[in-house]
Amino acid sequence: MTKRLHFTFILGGFTVVLGAFGAHLLKKLLSVDQLASFETGLRYQFYHVFFLIILSLIPRIEEKDKNKIALLIYTGLLLFSGSIYLLSMQDVFGLDLGFLGPVTPIGGSLLIFAWFYAAYKIKTYSPR
State pLDDT tens for residues 53-86: 999 999 999 999 999 999 999 999 999 999 999 9
Res. 125: pLDDT tops 80: no
Q: What is the mean pLDDT of residues 1-5?
A: 82
Q: Can you give the pLDDT at residue 29?
A: 92
* Residue 128 banded pLDDT, cuts 50, 70, 90: low
Helix residue ranges, H only, the chain: 2-21, 27-29, 32-57, 63-88, 90-93, 103-124
Tens of pLDDT, residue by residue over 16-62, are: 999 999 888 898 899 999 999 999 999 999 999 999 999 999 999 99
Pairwise CA distance, residues 93 & 114, whole Å? 32
Q: Can you give the pLDDT at residue 22?
A: 87
Res. 2: pLDDT tops 90: no
CB of 8 within 8 A of CB of 74? no
Q: What is the mean pLDDT of residues 115-128?
A: 85
Res. 104: pLDDT tops 90: yes
Residue 111's contacts (CB-CB under 8 Å, 6 or more residues apart) are 44, 48, 72, 73, 76, 77, 80
Q: Can you give the pLDDT at residue 127?
A: 67
